A and B are shown apart, each in its own frame.
Chain A
Amino acid sequence: MDLNVKIVIVDESPVRSAILEEGLREAGFMDVTRIAEMTNLLARIYAIDPDVILIDLENPSRDVLEQMFQVSRIVKRPIAMFVDQSDTASIQASVDAGVASYIVDGLKKERIKHILDTCISRFNAFARLQEELDRTKSALEERKVIDRAKGILMKAKSINEEEAYALLRKTAMNENKKIAEIAQSVITASEMFK
């Protein structure tokens, strides 16, 4: 299989594009360039003259590429969007994963499929990573809030840490709320009494 395909990744996130680049290299595609700077995007892409352009769906510059799709008929090689205009399932999968791809005409369909599949799975992997990170972050935040509330209760009611936590937990159960929510109300209330 000919792996001499020039791929451009347009993405402002260095982590995600690194994940994507690595995946494409593993799949055997060596010519991968990342564009992170959005000014003069069209000129940069023309200079590289890629066969495939992959762009993060949350990048407003996607509209800029649509213009290239139009003018390319006159000035450059034609560019087709997505794998196959009639392949709605692929479009859906890629939009779901958060990536859009623009493919220059003349590339074999099987190869494009390969690139796109790599892309989708890598974008999904990134989304999972991001989710995990967000979860860890919010767990840390919650712990901080609970610690502060415990401190307030210990001082106000002259109880120890264990008792303070038990009180928070019991109230949370009674009110059918999360411990962190009860802890937040304790903090808010104590600030109002200041």
Chain B
Amino acid sequence: MTESRKLRIGFIPLVDAAALIVAVDKGFTAEEGLNVELVREVSWSNVRDKLNIGLFDAAHLLAPVAIASSLGLGHVKVPIITAFGLGLNGNAITVSPELFNALKDAADGDLADPMVSARALARVVMNRKARGEEPLTFGMTFPYSTHNYQLRFWMAAGGVDPDQDVRLIVLPPPYMVESLANKHVDAFCVGAPWNSVAVDLGIGRILHFVSEILERAAEKVLAVRARWAEDNPDMFHKLVRAHGRAAAFVEDEHNHHEVARLLSAPGRIAVEPEVIRRTLDGRLKISPDGTYRSSDRYLMVGRKGAARPDPAQAAWLYAQMVRWGQALMSAEGLAEAKAAFRPDLYDKIIGGSPDLPPSEPADRVGAFTGPAFDPDNIVAHLDGWKIRRR
């Protein structure tokens, strides 16, 4: 084994950093001859900036941030690529008990159905408006985040305009629970473990797993600068290969106990292993009274082609940026967004099948409603929506 330069990789303490943490702490990267230092970060802005200016070689990054950075949205334009998806889905929408009761009263069906809950939300919003009350406030993690788009997608489906009818604010995940408790927000969309923390404290109720809104949404990716991957092909390949092994390890049920223990360590996520375990098992307590809900899609780390970057999902994320006025629609923009996701590199390094299992949605995203999604023609898709910017 040759003495290699130390790689610095930034991450945010969230369960969907599992493959990254396991790759390093279980020694898969070391077995590839890589010397990796994981650096815990407090904000997505920090992760993005440190990756962009070269303080990090790679990072656990929000999939939409990788695209925004490649397009130069919101910050300096630095092309980012990913050859490995760290996870699909994994977020949940949690509401305050008051909002949950209001939704229940307004619902004409089972609230577990996202269309029923979205329509109920529209009624609650209208009633508040009629009474002259403050609009509802929803917390999410970052302007370029799946959380933002998932909330907006769901609300707009029921007739709520996310920019006119409610307030959507960015909240750092560690402040979510407190903000719900002191009524700064009425609901939030965030990754694990924060939804479970709110439920355990008895101040929140999980309304939806985001996989009920979209079956396959690229959540976090293993991001590197395109330049770095070109300049360091050997290290890049080793890094991706180690992640392939780590994802398989995370997905093996027999390892969930060990993975939860690794992730709960002080320098990593630093919460109770049991809370992390729920996410890995896809079985979450959704209500303080002890009701559970299970889904084998809650967080997908390597299963069902989840780790293979899918340009169709990049196209969906770009479509959301256009829909909500963050980006202007252009064919070049769409092409650049898709080019950030590199299944060709995944296939070359890890090998795999471009075909998804038959259980997976044909359009590769699987939204619960809305006009048909074609990654090659997002204009037609966007034109099908009534609520959108511009």
Q: Which residues of A contact B (CB under 8 A)?
A: 38-40, 42, 57-67, 69-70, 81, 85-86, 88, 91-92, 95-96, 100
Contact = CB atoms under 8 A, between A and B. Distances in A.
Nearest to B324: A70
A59 B41 CA distance: 10
A66 B143 contact: yes
Interface residues of B, number: 27
Contact of A95 (B53, B75, B170, B184): B53
Interface string B160-179: 00000000011111110001
Contact of B170 (A39, A64, A100): A64
B57 to A, nearest CB: 15
Contacts of A38: 175
Given A67-B170, A85-B75, A60 B53 contact: no
A175 to B, nearest CB: 26
Contacts of B174: 60
A88 B53 contact: yes
Interface in B26-53: 42-46, 49-50, 53
29 contacts: A38-B175, A39-B179, A39-B184, A40-B184, A42-B169, A57-B46, A58-B42, A59-B43, A60-B173, A61-B172, A63-B43, A63-B142, A64-B171, A66-B74, A66-B142, A66-B170, A67-B142, A69-B74, A70-B74, A70-B143, A81-B75, A85-B76, A86-B76, A88-B53, A92-B53, A95-B53, A96-B55, A100-B45, A100-B49
Contacts of B170: 63-64, 66-67
B50 A62 contact: no
A174 B230 CA distance: 48
Nearest to B148: A67
B45 A62 contact: yes
A64 B42 CA distance: 12
A64 B172 contact: yes
Interface string B309-350: 000000000000000001000000000000000000000000
A159 B143 CA distance: 68
Chain B interface mostly: loop
Contacts of B182: 39
Nearest to B76: A85
A86 B72 CA distance: 11
A60 B172 contact: yes
B13 to A, nearest CB: 11
A18 to B, nearest CB: 22
B117 interface: no
B141 interface: yes
B172 A67 contact: no
Interface of B: 42-46, 49-50, 53-55, 74-76, 141-143, 169-175, 179, 182, 184, 326
Contacts of A100: 45, 49
A67 B143 contact: yes
B179 A62 contact: no
A54 to B, nearest CB: 14
B65 to A, nearest CB: 10
Q: Which of B42, B43, B54, B141 has the most chain A CB atoms closer than 10 A to its own CB?
A: B43
Contacts of B55: 92, 95-96
Given A62-B42, A69-B74, A70-B326, 19 more contacts: A39-B184, A42-B169, A59-B43, A61-B172, A62-B43, A63-B43, A63-B45, A63-B141, A63-B142, A65-B45, A66-B170, A67-B169, A67-B170, A70-B74, A70-B143, A85-B75, A91-B53, A92-B55, A96-B55
A60 B43 contact: yes
B148 to A, nearest CB: 9
Contacts of A96: 55
Contacts of A91: 49, 53, 76
B123 to A, nearest CB: 27
A33 B111 CA distance: 46
10 closest A-B pairs by beta carbon, nearest first, are A60-B172, A67-B170, A62-B43, A60-B42, A62-B45, A63-B43, A92-B53, A64-B170, A70-B143, A60-B43
A133 to B, nearest CB: 22
Contacts of B142: 63, 66-67
A110 to B, nearest CB: 21
A62 B174 CA distance: 13
B163 to A, nearest CB: 9
A118 B93 CA distance: 43
Nearest to A81: B75
Nearest to B173: A60
A132 to B, nearest CB: 24
Nearest to A67: B170
